[in-house]
Structure 1
Amino acid sequence: MKNISNILTVVMLCGLLSFLSSCSGRSVSSTADTEQDIRPLDAVVVLPAEAGGDGAADGQGNDSDSLRKGAGFIDLTIADITKDCRNVRVLTASQVESLMDEGNKDNSADVIGHLGKTLHCDAVMVTTVHRYRQRVGSDMAIESPASASFQIRLVDVKTRAVLWSADFDETQESLLSNILSFSKAQSRGFKWVTVENLVAQGLKDRLAGCPFLKR
Structure 2
Amino acid sequence: MNATRRIITAGLLGLTAMSGGCGGTTAQPEPQLPDFTLSCAAVLPAVQGTDLDRKSTEGEEKTLHEGTTALNQALRDYFGSRTDIRMISDEQAEEAGKPRTSLAGAKAAAEKAGCNAILETTLHRYKERIGGEYTAKEPSSVSFSYRLLALPEGTVLCRGRVDEEQEPLMSNLLKFRLSAENSFTWVKAEQLLSQNLREQLNDCSFLVGKQ
Equivalenced residues, count: 196
Structure 2: 5+ residue stretches without partners = 12-21
- Residue 148 of structure 1 is aligned with which of 142, 160, 171? 142
Determine if contact 1:105/1:111 at 8 Å carries over to the other structure.
yes
Q: Distance in 2 between matches of 1:206 and 1:162?
A: 15
**1:136-170, CA deviations, whole angstroms, 9 ceiling, x for partnerless residues?**
00001111110000001001221111110121110
Q: Which has the higher contact order (CA 8 A, sep 6+)?
A: 2
| Structure-2 change in CA distance of 1:94 and 1:85 (3 Å) | same
| Structure-2 change in CA distance of 1:159 and 1:68 (3 Å) | same
Determine if contact 2:41/2:110 at 8 Å carries over to the other structure.
no
**1:84-140, CA deviations, whole angstroms, 9 ceiling, x for partnerless residues?**
433101111112223x22xx1266121122124322211100000000000000001
How many angstroms does 1:44 deviate by? 0.4
- Residue 118 of structure 2 is aligned with which of 113, 120, 124? 124
Structure 1: 5+ residue stretches without partners = 15-23
- Residue 209 of structure 1 is aligned with which of 189, 203, 209? 203
The residue that corresponds to 1:19 in the other structure is none
The residue that corresponds to 2:16 in the other structure is none
2:37 counterpart letter in structure 1: P
User: What is the RMSD of the two structures over their aligned residues, measured on CA atoms?
Assistant: 2.8
The residue that corresponds to 2:17 in the other structure is none
The residue that corresponds to 2:164 in the other structure is 170
2:105 counterpart letter in structure 1: V
The residue that corresponds to 2:92 in the other structure is 95
Q: Distance in 1 between matches of 2:35 and 2:107?
A: 21
Q: Distance in 2 between matches of 1:106 and 1:11?
A: 55
Instruction: Find out whether 1:71 has 2:68 as its counterpart.
Output: yes
Determine if contact 2:142/2:165 at 8 Å carries over to the other structure.
yes
2:108 counterpart letter in structure 1: H
Q: Percent identity?
A: 28
Instruction: Find out whether 1:82 has 2:73 as its counterpart.
Output: no
Q: Which has the larger radius of gyration?
A: 1
How many angstroms does 1:203 deviate by? 1.3
